Amino acid sequence: MPSYKAPLADIRFNLYEMLGIDKRSDLPEFANLDRDTIDAILEGGAKICEDVLAPLNQIGDEHGCVLENGVVRTPPGFKEAYKTLCEGGWNRLSAPEEHGGASLPILLSFTMTEMMFSANQAFAMYPGLTNAAYAALMGTGAKWMRDHIASRMASGEWTGTMCLTEPHCGTDLRLMKTKAVEQPDGTYRMTGTKIFISGGDHDMADNIIHMVIAKIPDENGKLSDDLSTVNFFMVPKFIVSEDGKMGVRNGVSCGAVEKKMGIKGSSTCVMNFDNAVAWRLGPKPEPKAPGAAADKKSSSAGMKGMFGMMNAARIGVGIQGIAIGEVAYQNGVAYARERTAGRALTGKKFPEQSADPIMVHPDVRRMLLSARSFVEGARALAMWNSFLLTEARSGDPARREDYAGMADLMTPIIKAFFTDMGFEATNAAMQCFGGHGYIRDHGMEQFVRDARINQVYEGANGVQALDLVGRKLMAKGGKNIGAMFKHIGDVIAAHEGNAALAPLATSLKRGFGRLQEGTAWLAENGLKNPDNAGAASVEFLRMFGIVLVGMKWLEMAAVADKRKNGDALNPASFYESKLVLARFWMERMMPDTAALLERMKAGADTIMMLDAANF
């Protein structure tokens, strides 16, 4: 059975030594938080993840979710674990106090998110999606919804979903067929089918609040083929009155539980809406003037809430890439230390044994270092990104726009690069087990299956790459990318004069130069031929991810170099490991930026040349 131990030492390193949150009393979110309080939160969260959630991971995979008599039954132990989680308030750390939350900074709730997903990714989907739906309802819902529905979602009494995808319609929202017809009382009646709905139905909460996108038909009952009538709706499983009373069952039902490759403890459902009562979110758009044409590219004001929900979910999925890589790495290391096979290439290391532990072999070490350098580098970047969101709200007023812009720029990178690398890390950790990794006993094959979905949902990674090159790069006239490039350049300049760090800074500087060259190539060639941008987008995103994680490794190495003899927080070996991992990333990952740039500059000609019939 696999094991999990929360990486509290590394989380504390990022909180205190990298971000210095205990010294940021200038930020209201951190003003009343001291180390003792933060450590108590981390340790309490770690305990429930290690002792309650992790032991249910394989059980959830073995039993899955079952649809019985119109109700989805979750795996044994899930319902009880969910109750324990909610009773402790671990599902609502960042929710406001009036909703029973702790009003903690998002940075701390994200550390809990990572630990939960490492311990049990399928289980963590339920509170994770609920938090995203809660935030969307708080941002777009009417006061009675915030008071009576969002509050119960925060407590965990009710859960939430995101209902976006249809059998024939994923990323292209123009193709949606789900419709919502306005009623005289201001509500809507919704009809349609949504698929791949995480937590669509289950037995852990009294009500489920579905956040749904649908089209509003015209006066003739027809649906447009553009975004102008796409709207965002709240559709509860049980109808809720404006005074908060839960009433009769709504026209919402689970048609099936998807038979999936992984995360089988998560109830991924086909959801049918049959004349269901729905409430449109956000202000109602002004009616068009008679004879005016619809704006084919515009969407309703409430859709901003939907996009906000999706962006939060994409960051959350990126965290899942870190989380699954962490737990897979931990188990890979444990096995490599114990499993004996062959002898070290430089001679016997354990002559008293019949063979050496496989940890002596360079390739095993390469796989494990690849996983760990990604996990710790990505964690540092993700935590910095979360901190930027706080800075964007209450930090230096002159820099708030830059902070928000850099965080927005990183959203597709965190989602796509982290989940690609998380899968690679998990696969490498499984490889350390050899044939034993392929069977169920050690749990590694489940990690690989669970990790694979992260690259797909909340926008497949190729779509994230298109979002990066098509929207994010030139957002605000290029101001966001300008702020990020200045920040990277400043980090390099701050450390390249240090003899101990110069080789790391030089490597990062080379990779950064290639990233800048790739950005310029896109600006020139993507405009000439949009297929060039599409063909180069995945390589560009990966290059950007490598450089950003490299930037954090240079900063972590600078901290570790100052504390290499150890301190009150960590022993010398902790900082020695950081320095080695920083070298590994610069020597083994940063050179990939050269190949990625070459592939980008090859353009789209060959990719688009072959006739579809010849594939």
- Residue numbers of the domain that contains 209: 159-284
Residue 543 has pLDDT above 70, yes or no: yes
Domain count, the chain: 3
User: What residues act catalytically?
Assistant: 458
Same domain, 515 and 575: yes
- Mean pLDDT on 271-300: 73
Same domain, 124 and 170: no
Residue 391 lies in a domain: no
Indicate whether 69 pLDDT > 80: yes
Specify whether 464 is located in the same domain as 597. yes
pLDDT tops 70 at residue 534: yes
Q: Any idea what the CATH number is for the domain that residue 76 is in?
A: 1.10.540.10
pLDDT in tens, 479-498: 999 999 999 999 999 999 99
Binned at pLDDT 50, 70 and 90, residue 261 comes out as very high
Q: Does 398 map to a domain?
A: no
Residues 135 and 164 in one domain: no
pLDDT the model gives residue 35? 94
Minimal CA–CA distance to 579: which of 309, 364, 373, 371? Answer: 373
Task: Give the residue from 140, 167, 186 where a domain finishes.
Answer: 140
Which DSSP symbol is given to 95? S
Q: Does some domain include residue 615?
A: no
Torsion, CA 434, CA 437, CA 438, CA 443, rounded to 10: 180
Same domain for 217 and 115? no
Per-residue pLDDT tens over the stretch 404-452: 999 999 999 999 999 999 999 999 999 999 999 999 999 999 999 999 9
Residue pLDDT, tens place only, 125-176 = 999 999 999 999 999 999 999 999 999 999 999 999 999 999 988 888 888 9
125 occurs within a structural domain = yes
| DSSP string for residues in 281-345 | -SPPPPPPPTTPPP-TT---TTHHHHHHHHHHHHHHHHHHHHHHHHHHHHHHHHHHHH-B-S--T
The domain boundary, picked from 284, 309, 338, lies at: 284
Same domain, 165 and 122: no
Q: Which residues pair with 166 in a beta bridge?
A: 169
- Give pLDDT, residue 307: 76
**Residues 6+ positions from 40 with CB-CB distance below 8 Å:** none
Same domain, 171 and 101: no
Residues 473 and 581 in one domain: yes
Q: Could you say which of 140, 167, 194 is where a domain stops? A: 140
Q: Is residue 448 one of the residues assigned to a domain?
A: no
Is residue 389 domain-resident? Answer: no
Q: What is the pLDDT of residue 285?
A: 63
Residue 107 and residue 21 in contact, taking contact as beta carbons nearer than 8 Å: yes
Rg of the Cα trace of the chain?
25
Find the CATH number of the domain harbouring 171: 2.40.110.20
pLDDT tops 90 at residue 589: yes
Residues 470 and 596 in one domain: yes
468 with 541, same domain: the answer is yes
- Cβ atoms of 512 and 492 within 8 Å: the answer is yes
Q: Is position 557 within any domain?
A: yes
Q: Distance between CA 347 and CA 539 in Å, rounded?
A: 41
- 292 pLDDT above the threshold of 90: no
The verdict on 17 and 126 lying in the same domain is: yes
Q: Are 463 and 541 in contact (CB under 8 A)?
A: no
Q: Which two tokens stand for residue 548?
A: 């950003």
The pLDDT mean for the chain works out to 94
Answer yes or no: is 416 within a domain: no
Dihedral sign (CA 14, 18, 23, 26): negative
Statement: the pTM of the whole predicted model exceeds 0.85:
yes
Indicate if 206 and 123 belong to the same structural domain.
Answer: no
